[in-house]
């Protein structure tokens, strides 16, 4: 028995799929059964893990282990102890979503011999970057550092979409490593990526190009709030970089990825505290316009881009 424990939900599911695939490759004649501990009793578990008319061995994938009751937990623990002396028994892969629920059953199973595989939570940017690298490695490919950073910046909060994007990049392009240009080329239609592209143009002082890109993105279906969010994220990074440079806060207190901070430091030239404050206030107004029925978010975005391109002057 292997317990896939907690962590990021997508990574937890992916690990379970990998374990199931390897078990099927090892025992191609085994019967695969999917169960849910939420409504499973011990008799159904014992039946699933025993020999059947179709196969002498089964591969049991059990979801929601945290919901197992005491009776089921005891039956699973007995099975673990017996399985340690019998190589012909079933393979059990149990998923636990993490947290305190079901801790008693979890301890019982580990004590009985179950192997616990803890999953990373992917909350830190470094963990997300490692995840991206691993997704390319799964395809026997590589990705450049700046391309991986762009993927994390855009989709880091959506692990499933991030994994799908990595797989699609490997499928569509033969480059090895896959570079930033390919990532930007592929993600042009993504609202968040378009937002970062607009923000980059604005921060370079190219107001006209940024406004054209913004209007094009909205015509293609991007929501103004997504573009406002990208601009706000860029300005927050610059504000933190300014505070770190002046010594107002430490790099640790900024709570910002080192490479994001480094890039923001390079963009500080020409900015003043007053100019930055005006831009942030303008974006707050644009955000209000996008959430008000009578507002004009596109006009507000234009004004914000013009002000940001002029560094708040």
Whether pTM exceeds 0.85:
no
As a whole number of angstroms, the distance between CA 119 and CA 51 comes to 31
As a whole number of angstroms, the distance between CA 235 and CA 281 comes to 11
Does the domain at 125-186 match CATH 1.10.8.60? Answer given as yes
DSSP 243: H
* 94 bridge partner residues: 3, 62
Peptide bond into 177 cis (omega under 30): yes
As a whole number of angstroms, the distance between CA 103 and CA 96 comes to 10
For the chain, give every residue range classified as CATH 1.10.8.60.
125-186
Residue located via tokens 């002082």: 205
As a whole number of angstroms, the distance between CA 20 and CA 22 comes to 5
Which residue spans within 80-138 are E strands per DSSP?
A: 91-96, 115-118
Q: Spell out the per-residue pLDDT of the chain, length 313, in tens.
A: 999 999 988 889 889 989 999 999 999 988 899 999 999 999 999 999 887 766 778 999 999 999 999 999 999 999 998 887 766 678 999 999 888 888 899 999 999 999 999 998 888 888 899 999 999 998 999 999 888 988 887 777 778 878 888 888 888 788 899 998 888 766 654 554 567 778 888 888 889 888 888 887 787 777 788 788 888 888 888 899 899 888 888 887 887 766 677 778 888 888 999 999 999 999 999 988 888 777 788 899 999 999 999 998 8
What burial class does residue 259 get, using C-beta atoms within 10 Å of its C-beta: 0-12 exposed, 13-18 middle, 19+ buried? middle
Express each pLDDT in 213-265 by its tens digit: 888 778 777 778 878 888 888 888 889 989 988 888 888 788 776 667 777 88
Structural domain 191-309, CATH architecture: Up-down Bundle (1.20)
As a whole number of angstroms, the distance between CA 46 and CA 55 comes to 15
Joined together, the tokens standing for residue 259 give 């490479």
Residue located via tokens 């100019």: 275
Express each pLDDT in 245-258 by its tens digit: 888 888 878 877 66
Q: Nearest to residue 309, comparing CAs of 212, 191, 217?
A: 212
Express each pLDDT in 77-112 by its tens digit: 999 988 877 666 789 999 998 888 888 999 999 999
For the chain, give every residue range classified as CATH 3.40.50.300.
2-118
Which pLDDT score is estimated for 88?
67
Q: Cα-flanking dihedrals φ and ψ of residue 29, to 5°?
A: -95, 0
DSSP 205: T
CATH superfamily of the domain spanning 2-118: P-loop containing nucleotide triphosphate hydrolases (3.40.50.300)
As a whole number of angstroms, the distance between CA 141 and CA 133 comes to 9
């Amino acid at each position: 028995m292997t317990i896939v424990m907690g962590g990021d939900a997508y990574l937890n599911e992916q690990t379970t799929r990998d374990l199931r695939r390897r078990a099927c490759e090892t025992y191609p004649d085994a019967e695969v059964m999917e169960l849910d501990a939420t409504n499973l009793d011990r008799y159904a578990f014992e039946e699933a893990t025993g020999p059947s008319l179709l196969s002498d061995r089964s591969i049991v994938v059990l979801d929601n282990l945290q919901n197992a009751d005491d009776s089921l937990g005891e039956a699973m623990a007995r099975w673990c102890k017996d399985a340690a002396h019998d190589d012909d028994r079933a393979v059990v892969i149990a998923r636990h979503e993490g947290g305190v629920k079901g801790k008693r059953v979890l301890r019982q199973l580990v004590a009985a011999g179950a192997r616990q595989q803890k999953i990373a939570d992917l909350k830190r940017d470094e963990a997300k970057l490692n995840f991206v690298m691993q997704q390319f490695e799964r395809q026997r490919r590589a990705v450049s550092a700046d391309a991986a950073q762009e993927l994390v910046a855009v989709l880091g909060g959506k692990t499933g979409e991030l994994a799908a994007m990595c797989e699609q990049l490997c499928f569509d392009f033969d480059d090895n490593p896959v570079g930033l240009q390919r990532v930007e080329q592929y993600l042009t239609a993504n609202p968040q990526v378009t937002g970062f592209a607009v923000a980059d143009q604005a921060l370079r002082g190219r107001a006209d190009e940024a406004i054209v890109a913004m209007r094009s993105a909205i015509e293609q279906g991007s929501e103004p709030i997504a573009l406002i969010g990208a601009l706000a994220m860029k300005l927050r990074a610059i504000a933190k970089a300014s505070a770190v440079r002046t010594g107002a806060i430490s790099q640790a207190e900024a709570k910002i990825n080192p490479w994001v901070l480094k890039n923001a430091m390079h963009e500080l030239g020409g900015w003043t505290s007053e100019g930055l404050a005006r831009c942030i206030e303008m974006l707050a107004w644009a955000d209000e316009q996008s959430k008000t029925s009578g507002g004009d978010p596109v006009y507000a975005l234009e004004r914000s881009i013009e002000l940001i391109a002029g560094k708040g002057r």
